[in-house]
Chains A and B, each alone.
Chain A
C-alpha cells in the first residue's frame, strides 16, 4: 500500500452525464463513504490535481474544455472515466451530439462501469488509479535520473 502514503487530489468534470454519476462522485466525499480518510480531496483547480475524474460521454462542445483541463493538470496524472457513458457513450452513443467515451478525447487509465456507477466502485477505481499514478511517477523519476546520470558521465 505504498501508494496510499500520499494524498492525491481529484478534479471532477461533468462531460455530458445525466448527473447520476456526478452525485455518486460527490457522495464518495460525504460521511458514509468518506474518501477523505484516504487523503483524497476534491479540488476545483486543475493545477492542484493528480487524478482527473470524468463522468458522461464527450460531445462536440466539451471536447476542447476536457483537453484544456487535461493539459493543465501537471504530470504525472491519471484519468478515471466514471460510468458507462464515460466508458463508451452508453445509452446515448447513438445521439448525434455524442462522440463517444472519454477516450475519444484524452487517454484514460481506469474505466469504472455502472449506470450509475456505485460509490464503492468509484472508490475502487480511484484507488486503482493511484497505483498507476505511482508507476508513472516512478517512471518519470527514473527518466530524470538517467538523464542526470548521462550528463555526469560526459
Chain B
C-alpha cells in the first residue's frame, strides 16, 4: 500500500529563475495531482491605468514582462489604435514585425538555454545564450534597449532603421541561421536530450484545444493555431506556416520552438525585403472611447490586451491575459502521472513566465 504525501515545489527553486509554487501530491515517486498557487510577483499593474494617461501606459504595458516586452507594448498600442481608428503607416507596421520576430528569437533562445540547464546540459545552455547575445546586439543597435526596448508608441514607432542598416541586418542573418542550425541539431538529435524528453509530459490534441493551450504548447500537440495568421502588423503580407508537431510531449514542444527560430529568421528576411518607404508615425489626437480585445502571438502563445476607454485620458480598464495563464490548466494535466524527477522539465516545457502571468 503506497502512501500519499504532499511535496511543495518552489517558490525559490534552483531550476526556475522565477518563483512559482506547486503542491505536488505524490504516490511513491509518481505525481497524482499538482495544484499551482501564485502571487509572489503579483503587482496589480492593471490598476495603474487610473494613474497614467493612455499614451504613458505603454511603458507599464512593456514592463509586464521583460522577455516579451516589445510584443506587450505593441499589442497595447494596437488595441488603442483599433479603438481610435488610427492609420498606422506601413513602414511602422513592418518595423514592429521585425522587432517582434527578433523578440521571439531572443525569447526562444533564452528558453532553449534554460531548458538545457534544467536537463543538466550546461554546455548547450551556454551556447544558446551565446547566440542570444547576437540577437540582443541587433535589438540594442536598433532600439537602444537590450531587453526593454521602449520603441513602440501609439500611432507608430519611435525610431526608424535606416535602409543601409537593414541591408546589414539581412546579411548577418545567413551566418546566424547556420549557427542556429548547429544548435537545433543538438536539441533534436542528441541522444541524451532525447532520452530526457521523448514521451515526457504528454498532452493530447483534444486536451490541448479544450483546455486552452496556446503557442508552442498547442502546436506541439498538433493544434495549428497561430494568432499571427489573423494578420496584425505586417503579417498579412508575409508568408509563413505555423510550425507543428503531433507527439504532444516535451520533445515536440522543444522541436516546435526550434522550428520557429527558422521561421522567425525567414519572416525577418521577408520583412526587410518588402520594407516600404515612408513615415514611421502619425500624430494621435483625442482620447479613446470604446473597447477592443487586442491579440498577438507572443513567443509563449496568444496574448490578449483588453482595453476599454470612456473618452477620457485615462482608460477605464486594461486587462492583460498572458499566454502563461492559459497554459496553466494544460500544465496541471501534463503533470498528472509523471515522475517527480521530471517535474522541473515539464514545468519549463510550457515556458512559464510568471512575471507576465501575475502582472
Contacts and interface: CB of A to CB of B under 8 A. Distances in A.
A95 B44 CA distance: 6
Interface string A65-78: 10001000000000
B278 interface: no
A129 interface: no
> A interface, by DSSP: helix, strand, loop or mixed?
loop
Interface string A45-80: 100000000001101011001000100000000000
A59 B41 contact: yes
A147 B62 CA distance: 55
Interface stretch (B45-53, B195-203, B214-222): B45-53
A12 to B, nearest CB: 7
Q: What is the interface residue range for chain B against chain A?
A: 35 or more
Nearest to A16: B41
B17 to A, nearest CB: 5
Nearest to A90: B63
A136 B64 CA distance: 37
B29 to A, nearest CB: 22
Interface string B8-37: 000111100111000000000000000000
Interface residues on A, range: 35 or more
Contacts of A59: 40-43
B319 interface: no
A4 B355 CA distance: 34
B18 A94 contact: no
A115 B12 CA distance: 23
Contacts of B12: 13, 44, 65, 69
B129 A20 contact: no
In the complex, the 3 A-B pairs of residues with the closest C-beta atoms, listed nearest first? A20-B66, A44-B14, A30-B129
Interface of A: 12-24, 26-27, 30-32, 44-45, 56-57, 59, 61-62, 65, 69, 91-92, 94-98, 115-116, 118
28 contacts: A13-B19, A16-B41, A17-B41, A18-B63, A18-B65, A18-B148, A18-B355, A19-B67, A20-B69, A27-B129, A27-B136, A30-B125, A30-B129, A30-B132, A31-B130, A59-B43, A61-B42, A91-B60, A92-B43, A92-B48, A94-B51, A97-B43, A98-B43, A98-B44, A116-B145, A116-B146, A116-B147, A118-B146
